[in-house]
Structure 1
Amino acid sequence: MSPLNTNDLQQIFEKIDKNGDGLVSLEEINLLLEKIGVKFSLEELQPLVGKPSLDFNEFLFFYDSISEKNNINISSSTSEVDLVADQEADKESDLVKAFEVFDLNGDGFISSEELQDVLSRLGLWDESSGRDCRAMIHVYDTNLDGQLDFEEFKNMMFLTIS
């Protein structure tokens, strides 16, 4: 399950589909990835995408494929407990990476300004959206310091995904 829902991905798709043809090109996908700090050359991106442009359903599939971990080769001696522990460690690692995307200044906290900046770069926030990043943070800010630490972020992600 991904932290972005289908509506969020639809908004992103529409923002990067500059010509409104219902397709996003490799160049448009690459611009989006660069905005969130993921660097690929078009030559590296082509095999990942598999075609020169994607419709929305293909974009969803692409998003899911890059946001999930590659399948882990599991030997027959690996116990189910070890597998669950590995999956939890992978989730934690993914959450740390996601947290770092939002924690722009690297201080270990996500401020409303940082949240607004990242959402703006993803095309999910603008002045007319009516969203208030302070209010969004307040919902999950359990210690009421006005920002999210990693544990609060993790709780928010698990509540959002479930």
Structure 2
Amino acid sequence: MKRYFVVAMTVLPIAAGCGSQGEIQSGTIGTNGQIGPILVRNMYVEAPRDGSYASNDTGRLRLWLFNTAANDDRLTAVRSDAVERTAIKWDRDCAGTFETPAGLPLPAGDAKPQPAAYFVELTGFNHPVLAGTTIPVFLTFENAGQGRIDAMVEASHDGDSTTPPSCSTPSPPSG
């Protein structure tokens, strides 16, 4: 018995070190994707209070958008089959007052609206949605077109706290 234990303890660490290393991921909560030249980073639905969204609940979709194109673009619509309605919300001046614009401007290059200054309001969930699952989200851009990205519904535990919104800007992704 000891011989098998020693062999297993010797072979397992070697075997665990073999194989593909895979892509190293940053510590994001949400999903990363791309629609044409628009990079979508850390897209997620904020955690529901009681572990799930019930029918008719309202939630927030958070995301960071980076326009890598040579021309300006706009996020013109967001849709999900999981909810009745969506609305883009933008605090243009980062003053704490959100408006519902006809579109969210995405300047060309690395310039972008402040990430914490915008979100998508999700109104009227069609069915219960559990934390830790995903919902389909369709983003439509004026120039980049439309694409689907599945957004993770953030899970939380007792004692977790959400980082308060700020108008600071993350660094644009490299590469």
- TM-score tier, shorter chain, comes to under 0.3
| Higher RCO (C-alpha 8 Å, min separation 6) | 2
TM-score normalized with structure 2 length: 0.26
TM-score normalized with structure 1 length: 0.27
Instruction: Return the structure number with greater helix share.
Output: 1
Instruction: Return the structure number with greater strand share.
Output: 2
